[in-house]
Amino acid sequence: MKNINAIISITLGLMLLFLLTACGSNDNISVSDDASTTAVHELVIGIPGTMSTLDVAQEAGIVNYYIATLVNEGLVAISNDGRPIPALASSWATDDYTAWLFNIREDARFSDGSYVTIEDIVWSIERAMNPELSPGVAIHFLDMIRSINIVDDNTLQIILNDANPNFIWAVSNVAGLFVTQRAWGEAATSIGSPGDMLFGSGPYRVISFNPGSNVTLEAQDYYWGQSADVQRVRFDFITDDAARFLAFAGGSIDFALNIPVEQAQQWRGVDGTTVHFFSDRSYYGLTIDSTVQPFDNHHVRKAVAYALNAQGIIDSILDGNGQVATAITPPEQFASVMDVSTARSLLSQVTHYSFNMDRAREEFALSGVAPFEAAISFPSNFPNVGRASLVLADALSELGITLNVREMPLEQWLGEIGSGEYGISWMIYFATTANPAEIASWLLDGTGPGYNPANFTNEEIAGLMRGVLSVSAEEGIEDLIRAHDIAGELAYYIPVWWGESAVAWSGAINVSNFNSFTMLSENWLRNFRFNN
C-alpha cells in the first residue's frame, strides 16, 4: 500500500510541477512575443472564424479581404464611404469606358523599400485574370480585357472588349487586384502561405501567419499615404463565440467582429465596451427558380411572397437588427452615387409583397396548384436563416405547402445555388465593392438559365441590365431600379432582410466612422486609435 501511495504522490507532484511551469510561461496575450522588436502597442482583433491562406486570389473570403487591403494595393482603393479613390494609380481617365488610362504613382514602394513598377502591376493583373492561379478573383476580369499596354513608365492603358463603366471596381483591392512584386510572385511557391506571406505596397506588411490561428501585421515605413496610430495589429481567429466573449471580457482582444446579435446585451455589460450596429450591405432573401414546378406559376411565387413575414422575422429572430428588404440591393450599396435615405426611398417604390396571409391564400387558390411539398436548405453557420426558414415553413403550411427545412454545411449549400434542382432557396450576398449594380449584375441577368441563380429568362430585364452595365453608375440608376421592379413584380426573388452586423470594442481603443466599407477602405486602421 505504501508503494501505491508513493506512486500516486510522485505522479501528482510531477503533474503539478508541469502545470505550474506551464502557467509560468503565460504572458500577457496582447503583447507580441516577437523578440526582435521592442514592445509595441498592439491592436488585437478577434475574428469569428478561420483562414487557411492570405491570398485573396485563392480564397476570396471577406476576412481575407480585410487583411489583404492593408497589405496589397490595387490601382484604386475605396474611401470610407465607398467611393473609388486613387491608390497605385494617382488618376485615371476614359472617354468611352473601353480604353482606360491609368497614371501610376511614382512614390509607391513595397515593404522592402523597392519601387512598384508598371511591370509589377501588369504581372499582377495577368495573374488575377487567370482562373487557375486566381480562382477567387478571376471572375472580376472574365472576358473583359482585350489588351494591357505599357504607354510609358508611369502610364498604363487597358483596352476592354466592351465598354464597361464599372471596370474601375475590378482593378480595386476590394475586388480583383492585389499588386505584388513580379520577382517575388514568380519565386513564391504558394502565395499566401506561411512560407510566402503577402508582399505588397500597402500600409502594413505581414510579420507572421499561423493558419487557423492568427495573422500579425506591422506598419511599413515606405507607404506613400497617411499612416495610422496602430503600429501593429493581430487578427486572432476564435472559433467559439463563448470563448471569444470571455477573451474580450478578459481584455485579450480589443475589437470583435460580427458579435452574435442575441449576445449584444451581454457584450455591452463589459465595462467600457461599445457595441456598434451598422448596415453590412448584405442581402438575405429567397430565390424562386421559375424553371422548377410548381414555382413556374407566378401565383405560387406571389403566394410564397405574401406568406413571408419579414418584419416578424426581424423582430423575433434578429432582435430588431435588420431592415425589411424591399429589393435585392440594400440602400447603402448606392452610397457612392446618392445619399442612403434617397436610395431607401427609391427602393421602397420597387414592387414587393408585404406579409398578408389572406392575399397568400387568394394567390395560391388562383394558381390552381394542388398542395405540394418542397425543400429549402440553409447553411449551418447562418442559424438565423434556419429559424427564418422555419417561420416560412409554418406560414406555408397554412396554404397546404409542406416546406422541409434542411441544414447543411456552407460548402454544400453553395453547390446548390442556381443548380436548378430546388424551387425555393436562400440567397445570402455580402457585397464587397460599392458598385450599385454589383448584386443586380448577377441576380438580374435575365439572359436565361445559368445566368442568374433563379434561372429566369426575361428579355426586358436583361436589356435593362445590359444598359445599366454600359453606362456610369449615376446614369444607370433609373434602369437599375426598373429592373429591380420588374423582377420584384414577377417574384423571382423575395427579399427578406438587409443585414446589420455588430462589432464591439473595448475602452482601450476608440473607433470612428465605422461602417460596412470601413474594413475594406484605404488604410482602414486609421479609424482605430488607442485611448492611452
Partner 1 sequence: MNKSTFIIKRLLACFITLFTLSFVIFSLLFLAPGDPARNLVGTRRVTDELLEQIRAQHHLDEPFLAQYSRWLRGAVNFDFGRSIRTNMDIIDHVAPHAGVTFQLVGISLVFSICLAVPLGIFAAKNKGKKIDRVINIMALVGSSAPGFAVGLILLYFFAFRLRLFPMYGASGIDSLILPAITLSISMGAFIVKLTRQAMLNEISSDYTVFMRARAVLPHKILDAQLKNASSPILTSTGLLLAGLFGSTVLVETIFSIPGLGSLLTSAVTFRDVPVVQFIALALAVIICLASAFTDIIVYLLNPNVHQSSKSKQGGL
Coil, strand or helix at 322: strand
Instruction: Answer yes or no whether residue 272 interacts with partner 1 by CB under 8 A.
Output: no
Instruction: Answer yes or no whether residue 427 interacts with partner 1 by CB under 8 A.
Output: yes
Instruction: Answer yes or no whether residue 36 interacts with partner 1 by CB under 8 A.
Output: no
* Pair 7, 492: CB distance under 8 Å: no
Q: Which of 155, 227, 252, 447 binds partner 1 (CB under 8 A)?
A: 252
Q: How far apart are CA 185 and CA 178, in angstroms?
A: 11
* Pair 68, 216: CB distance under 8 Å: no
Q: What is the residue type of 475?
A: E
* Secondary structure (DSSP) of 95-154: SSSSEEEEEEPSS-B-TTSPBPPHHHHHHHHHHHH-TTT-TTTGGGTTTTEEEEEEEETT
Nearer to partner 1, 38 or 189 (CB): 189
Instruction: Answer yes or no whether residue 404 interacts with partner 1 by CB under 8 A.
Output: no
Q: How far is CA 115 from CA 106, 119, 222, 224, in A?
A: 8, 11, 9, 11
Q: Which of 17, 151, 246, 365 binds partner 1 (CB under 8 A)?
A: 246
Binding region for partner 1 (CB under 8 A) out of 134-142, 176-184, 460-468, 489-497: 134-142
Q: How far is CA 474 from CA 321, 335, 478, 480, 502, in A?
A: 30, 11, 9, 10, 30
Nearer to partner 1, 129 or 502 (CB): 129
Q: Which of 40, 99, 139, 150 binds partner 1 (CB under 8 A)?
A: 139
Nearer to partner 1, 54 or 104 (CB): 54
Instruction: Answer yes or no whether residue 445 interacts with partner 1 by CB under 8 A.
Output: yes
Closest by CA to 527, choosing from 173, 64, 79, 207, is: 79
Q: Phi/psi at 179 (nearest 5 deg)?
A: -75, 130
Instruction: Answer yes or no whether residue 31 interacts with partner 1 by CB under 8 A.
Output: no
Q: How far apart are CA 522 and CA 70, in angstroms?
A: 7
Q: How far is CA 522 from CA 122, 202, 304, in A?
A: 21, 9, 42
CA angle, residues 313, 319, 323, in degrees to nearest 5: 60
Q: Which of 429, 456, 492, 528 binds partner 1 (CB under 8 A)?
A: 429
Instruction: Answer yes or no whether residue 161 interacts with partner 1 by CB under 8 A.
Output: no
Instruction: Answer yes or no whether residue 412 interacts with partner 1 by CB under 8 A.
Output: yes
Binding region for partner 1 (CB under 8 A) out of 212-220, 330-338, 388-396, 456-464: 212-220
* Pair 145, 45: CB distance under 8 Å: no
Residues 466-525 that bind partner 1 (CB under 8 A): none
Q: How far is the CB of 512 from partner 1 (least distance, A)?
A: 28
Instruction: Answer yes or no whether residue 341 interacts with partner 1 by CB under 8 A.
Output: no
* Bridge partner list, 452: 449
Instruction: Answer yes or no whether residue 293 interacts with partner 1 by CB under 8 A.
Output: no
Nearer to partner 1, 121 or 191 (CB): 191
Q: How far is the CB of 360 from partner 1 (least distance, A)?
A: 28
Q: How far is the CB of 11 from partner 1 (least distance, A)?
A: 5
Residues 447-476 that bind partner 1 (CB under 8 A): 450
Residues 362-391 that bind partner 1 (CB under 8 A): none
Residues 225-244 that bind partner 1 (CB under 8 A): 236-240, 242-244
Binding region for partner 1 (CB under 8 A) out of 70-78, 85-93, 95-103, 413-421: 413-421
Nearer to partner 1, 25 or 341 (CB): 25
Closest by CA to 325, choosing from 296, 355, 369, is: 355
Nearer to partner 1, 29 or 292 (CB): 29
Instruction: Answer yes or no whether residue 155 interacts with partner 1 by CB under 8 A.
Output: no
Q: How far is the CB of 13 from partner 1 (least distance, A)?
A: 11
Closest by CA to 189, choosing from 67, 15, 53, 388, is: 53
Coil, strand or helix at 406: strand
Instruction: Answer yes or no whether residue 59 interacts with partner 1 by CB under 8 A.
Output: yes
Q: Which of 289, 416, 479, 500 binds partner 1 (CB under 8 A)?
A: 416
> What cell was used for 469?
452595365
Which one-letter DSSP state was computed for residue 370?
P
Instruction: Answer yes or no whether residue 135 interacts with partner 1 by CB under 8 A.
Output: yes
Instruction: Answer yes or no whether residue 249 interacts with partner 1 by CB under 8 A.
Output: yes
Based on its alpha-carbon atoms, the radius of gyration of the chain, rounded to whole angstroms, reads 26
* Pair 488, 305: CB distance under 8 Å: no
Q: Which of 37, 157, 190, 397 binds partner 1 (CB under 8 A)?
A: 190
Nearer to partner 1, 185 or 211 (CB): 211
Instruction: Answer yes or no whether residue 1 interacts with partner 1 by CB under 8 A.
Output: yes
Can the peptide bond before residue 294 be classed as cis, meaning omega within 30 degrees of 0? yes
Instruction: Answer yes or no whether residue 291 interacts with partner 1 by CB under 8 A.
Output: no
Residue 325 CB-half CA count within 13 A: 29
Binding region for partner 1 (CB under 8 A) out of 78-86, 121-129, 189-197, 309-317: 189-197
